[in-house]
């Protein structure tokens, strides 16, 4: 078959519905029409200007995907349930056990942040596949062995020494169960355990039952997950994120409760506004990538408007901050009114809420920094904040005598905010450097 150059161009244009990008694309089309390769490569030519950039399919699809609001709600319920569970527990234990949460929280946060980063950084849309990575080979065996050892230790050591392990197991297990979509089962287990305690069940038996229950549920959750062969994130990144989480928890455990602040009950209730605020803020931030991707797909390299990208990213971050403040402050105000019957002074209650709201903000900012791939920066920020908190406590320079961690959390939030602002000055590069 022979074909003139003009006829070839017409044929190619008709087949593609647009001019070919170059001679090779024209040759491919001509070949599929039946022209031998040598002849096709001989007559193929580009033809006419190209259409302007168009959004990539992947970005368009991503932008169209509905946000997973159900997951956020599940996480909130799970966190609150886990926090509430500790109240009746410590109420029935000695002072040693009350202090257990100060040890348990950093360990838990370390494990939660590390697990999230290593295995859940890119969660599958299907909850049944999210924990599948934990089933892989030696890792699965290790997880099972650790979980079993933890349960046995708890039972053997008994309370109150085992309280740390119990809290770590229940809180860390909670993260996995919520990710699996089993929030209601988790809630039912903790609620049942708390109710049994209130009705006079033996503390040791109750806690051992709950720990075993959570571990069994986690085991079932992992075992019934679909195999997931996604590569885990690197260990260096995992450990860095775990340490950031531990630092956030250390900021919290520096907390010195006002003398008549009602102990952990207040701590638990006061944590809710920052948790929900963080969830709302993160949900809003999560929309940045698809929004940014669509914008990038419509913007030509070398064209105008690249400088506006920073405004888009920073604008979304600022809006997320506002959302956090509105939710956290609003709920804190409601909490202040609710807690008046506990006999707290307004100043004490305000201190508690303010502390936890600022820590929540710092935690969210650090988590966002991690999500942007700036793990080292997040760890450095957390370390500086921790040092600031400790120094403020020792030197007595904290704004309020009871809240050295407010200084630390304030430093963390401020520093992380400034660094995030600076990091987002070139969002296209930020995206390009993500792995």
Partner 1 sequence: MRDRVRVLLTTEGTYPHVVGGVSTWCDQLLRHLPEFAWQVYAITAGGRRQIPAYRLPDHARLVTAFDLWGSVRRPVWAGGGRAGRDDLAAGLAGALFGWDVSPDRLVDELTWCADHPDRVEAAFRGRVAWRLYLAQLEAIQGEVSPEVAEGWAFDLASAVQGYQALGWIARLAATPVEPVDVVHASAAGWAAIPGIVQRARRGTPMLLTEHGVYVREAYLAATRSENGMGHRALTTRMARGLARAAYRSADWIAPVTDAHRSWETHLGAAPGRIHTIPNGVVADDAVEPPPGRRTVVSVGRIDPLKDVATMLRVAAAVVRRLPDASFRHYGPVPAGQDGYMAACRRLHAELGLGDAFRFMGPTTTPMTVTRAADVALMTSISEGFPMAVLEALAVGRPVVATEVGGVRDALVGAGLTAPPRDVQGLAEATATLLSEHELAAELGARGHARVQRRFSQDAMLAAYRAVLNGLGRARPLAASA
Min CB(149)–partner 1 separation in Å: 27
Q: Considering the rule CB under 8 A, would residue 428 count as an interface residue with partner 1?
A: yes
Q: Does residue number 56 form part of the binding site for partner 1 (CB under 8 A)?
A: yes
Q: Which one, 95 or 435, has the nearer CB to partner 1?
A: 435
- Asked if 53 is part of the footprint of partner 1 (rule: CB under 8 A), the reply reads yes
Does 47 engage in binding with partner 1 (CB under 8 A)? yes
Rg (CA), the chain: 27
State the binding string over 112-151 for partner 1 (x if CB under 8 A, else -). Answer: ------------------------x---------------
Q: How many residues bind partner 1 (CB under 8 A)?
A: 59
Q: Using the rule CB under 8 A, which residue among 24, 142, 184, 395 binds partner 1?
A: 24
Least distance in angstroms from the C-beta of 294 to partner 1: 8
- Indicate whether 13 belongs to the interface with partner 1 (CB under 8 A): no
CA distance 318 to 247: 24
Direct distance between the N- and C-terminal alpha carbons of the chain, in angstroms, rounded to an integer: 49
Closest alpha carbon to 67 in 275, 221, 280: 280
Smallest distance, partner 1 to C-beta of residue 50, A:
4
Contact segment (CB under 8 A) with partner 1 among 228-236, 244-252, 268-276, 310-318 equals 228-236
Which of these segments, 15-23, 84-92, 169-177, 269-277, binds partner 1 (CB under 8 A)? Answer: 15-23
The CA distance from 311 to 307, in Å, is: 8
Task: Check: CB of residue 190 under 8 Å from CB of residue 82.
Answer: yes
* Residue 306 near residue 296, CB atoms below 8 Å: no
- Residue 214's CB is within 10 A of a number of other CB atoms, namely 28
Structure token pair of residue 401 = 């005598």
- Whether a cis peptide bond, with omega within 30° of 0, leads into 302 is no
Residue span binding partner 1 (CB under 8 A) among the ranges 41-49, 184-192, 315-323, 383-391: 41-49
Asked if 247 and 386 count as a contact pair (C-beta separation under 8 A), the reply is yes
Structure-token match 């809710």, residue found: 272
User: Residue 5 or 145: which CB sits closer to partner 1?
Assistant: 5
Report which of 199, 228, 243 is spatially closest to residue 134, judged by C-alpha positions.
228
Give the largest Cα separation in the chain, rounded.
96
Q: How many Cα atoms occupy the beta-carbon half-sphere of 424 within 13 Å? A: 26
From the list 186-194, 255-263, 292-300, 364-372, the region that binds partner 1 by CB under 8 A is 292-300
Q: Are 365 and 277 in contact (CB under 8 A)?
A: no
Q: Which stretch binds partner 1 (CB under 8 A): 56-64, 184-192, 317-325, 394-402?
A: 56-64
Q: Are 238 and 116 in contact (CB under 8 A)?
A: no
Q: In angstroms, rounded to a whole number, what is the distance separating the alpha carbons of residues 327 and 322?
A: 9
Residue 41 interacts with partner 1 (CB under 8 A)?
yes
Output the smallest distance, CB 172 to partner 1, in A: 23
Residue 45 makes contact with partner 1 by CB under 8 A:
yes
Q: Is 19 in the site for partner 1 (CB under 8 A)?
A: yes
Place of tokens 């690249």: 306
**Interacting residue with partner 1 among 4, 66, 200, 302 (CB under 8 A):** 302
Residue of 6, 7, 10, 50 interacting with partner 1 (CB under 8 A): 50
Please identify which residue in 64, 65, 200, 229 interacts with partner 1, judged by CB under 8 A: 229
Cβ proximity of 273 and 353 under 8 Å: yes
Choose one: 23-31, 144-152, 199-207, 396-404; the region binding partner 1 (CB under 8 A). 23-31
Q: Is 55 in the site for partner 1 (CB under 8 A)?
A: yes
Mention every residue, 6+ apart, whose C-beta is less than 8 A from residue 300: 52, 53
- The whole-angstrom separation of Cα 119 and Cα 75 is 17
Q: CB-wise, 23 or 380, nearer to partner 1?
A: 23
Cβ–Cβ under 8 Å, residues 382 and 412? yes
Residue numbers at the binding site for partner 1 (CB under 8 A): 16, 19-25, 28-29, 31-34, 36-38, 41, 45-57, 59, 136, 228-231, 233-234, 236-237, 293, 296-303, 306, 426, 428-429, 431-435
């Amino acid at each position: 078959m022979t074909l003139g150059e003009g006829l070839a161009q017409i044929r190619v244009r008709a087949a593609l519905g647009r001019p070919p990008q170059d001679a090779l694309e024209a040759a491919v089309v001509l070949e599929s029409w039946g022209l031998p390769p040598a002849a096709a490569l001989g007559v193929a030519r580009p033809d006419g200007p190209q259409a302007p950039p168009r959004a990539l399919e992947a970005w368009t699809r991503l932008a169209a995907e509905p946000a997973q609001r159900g997951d956020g709600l599940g996480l909130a319920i799970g966190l609150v349930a886990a926090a509430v569970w500790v109240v009746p527990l410590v109420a029935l234990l000695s002072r040693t056990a009350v202090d257990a949460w100060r040890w348990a929280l950093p360990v838990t946060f370390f494990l939660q942040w590390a697990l999230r980063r290593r295995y859940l950084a890119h969660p599958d849309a299907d909850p049944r596949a999210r924990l599948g990575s934990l089933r892989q080979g030696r890792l699965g065996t290790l997880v099972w062995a650790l979980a079993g050892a933890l349960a046995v230790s708890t039972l053997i050591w008994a309370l109150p020494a085992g309280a740390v392990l119990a809290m770590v197991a229940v809180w860390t297990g909670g993260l996995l169960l919520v990710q699996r979509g089993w929030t209601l089962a988790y809630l039912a287990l903790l609620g049942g355990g708390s109710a049994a305690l209130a009705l006079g069940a033996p503390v040791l038996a109750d806690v051992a039952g709950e720990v075993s229950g959570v571990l069994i549920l986690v085991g079932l959750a992992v075992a019934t997950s679909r195999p997931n062969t996604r590569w885990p994130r690197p260990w260096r990144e995992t450990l860095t994120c775990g340490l950031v989480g531990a630092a956030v928890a250390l900021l919290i455990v520096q907390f010195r409760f006002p003398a008549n602040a009602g102990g952990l009950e207040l701590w638990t209730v006061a944590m809710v506004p920052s948790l929900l605020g963080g969830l709302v803020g993160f949900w809003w931030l999560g929309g940045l990538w698809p929004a940014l991707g669509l914008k990038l797909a419509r913007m030509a390299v070398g064209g105008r408007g690249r400088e506006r990208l920073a405004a888009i990213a920073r604008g979304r971050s600022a809006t997320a901050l506002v959302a956090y403040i509105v939710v956290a402050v609003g709920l804190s105000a409601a909490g202040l009114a609710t807690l008046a019957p506990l006999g707290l002074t307004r100043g004490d209650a305000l201190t508690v809420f303010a502390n936890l709201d600022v820590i929540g903000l710092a935690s969210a900012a650090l988590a966002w920094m991690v999500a942007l791939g700036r793990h080292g920066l997040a760890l450095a920020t957390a370390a500086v904040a921790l040092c600031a908190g400790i120094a403020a406590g020792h030197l007595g320079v904290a704004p309020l005598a009871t809240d050295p961690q407010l200084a630390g959390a304030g430093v963390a939030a401020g520093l992380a905010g400034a660094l995030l602002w600076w990091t987002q000055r070139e969002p296209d590069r930020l995206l390009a450097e993500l792995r």
